[in-house]
Amino acid sequence: SASQFLSSLGVVPIGFLAHLWSPVSAPLACAHDATAMEKGTQIWLRDPDGPEAWLPGEVVSKSKSSSAGKGWQDVLVQLDNGETSTVPCELGHSEAEDLKLRNPEDSDLVEDLIDLPFLHEPAILHTLFSRFRQGLIYTFTGPILLAVNPYRSLPVYSDEILQEYYNAGLLRSQGMADLSEKVSPHVFAVADSAYRSMMDVMYKKVSGLKRNQAVLISGESGAGKT
């Protein structure tokens, strides 16, 4: 699982916080891309018995499957640790259950997971871990904020940082900010958005928006919800 994988890397469980959560669609790998498994394609291979859950590697070759039957191919991959493995993959498909496409390295630190070219379990885990190593414990996935508890103090809750998010929220609420510029992931951003939405409903009496407000906070014990 995601929590087990992050724990094996010295990262504690994940919690998430969302203001007025709603389902978010995200870009996924094309299910029928015949060129996706060509030689040199960067991939993630599931490691069901290992501590890391998914291992990085690349495609070495592909051939007609001698075991899976008609309509399938065998994809030979070489992992970064030097090991090789053969994975059956349906012809014309870019992924298999145990084989996923890897994102380019320049997307390792994206602030919002929906900006990833390929959004799946290993991509999410890799991005969260890459950001965590840089001291970036917060990551957006649409309106949801993922938080990885570092179990140590970080200089991310100062009055100056709080003021930055307050000012950004104020400008956006007055239509004076560039809406294309997203604020960096932070619990202050979610809190500001929730507060301003509540005040809009209470005082501006916007038609059709009179509804209950909610902030959902979820996570395992020790995930950092408090």
pLDDT in tens, 190-208: 999 888 888 877 776 556 6
Confidence (pLDDT) at 195: 87
Q: What is the chain's length?
A: 226
Phi/psi for 104 (5° steps) reads: -65, 155
Alpha helices in 49-146 (DSSP H): 121-133
Using CA atoms, how far residue 124 sits from 42, 109, 112, in Å, is: 16, 11, 10
Cβ burial of 98 (10 Å; 0-12, 13-18, 19+) is middle
Confidence (pLDDT) at 23: 32
Alpha helices in the chain (DSSP H): 2-8, 121-133, 159-173, 187-199
Could you give the CA distance from residue 122 to residue 116 in angstroms, rounded to a whole number? 12
CA dihedral 74, 76, 79, 81 (to 10 degrees): 120
Phi/psi for 64 (5° steps) reads: -60, 140
Q: Which two tokens stand for residue 220?
A: 């395992």
Mean pLDDT by runs of 10 across the 226 residues of the chain is: 47 51 33 64 90 92 76 89 90 81 94 94 94 94 90 92 92 75 88 85 65 81 77
Look up the pTM and report it. 0.79
Using CA atoms, how far residue 178 sits from 104, 107, 165, 168, 173, in Å, is: 28, 23, 14, 10, 11
Q: Which residue matches tokens 């994940």?
A: 14
Give the CB-side neighbour count of residue 180, counting CA atoms within 13 A: 0
Q: Which two tokens stand for residue 223?
A: 């995930």
Confidence (pLDDT) at 223: 78
User: Are 120 and 100 contacting, i.e. CB atoms less than 8 angstroms apart?
Assistant: yes
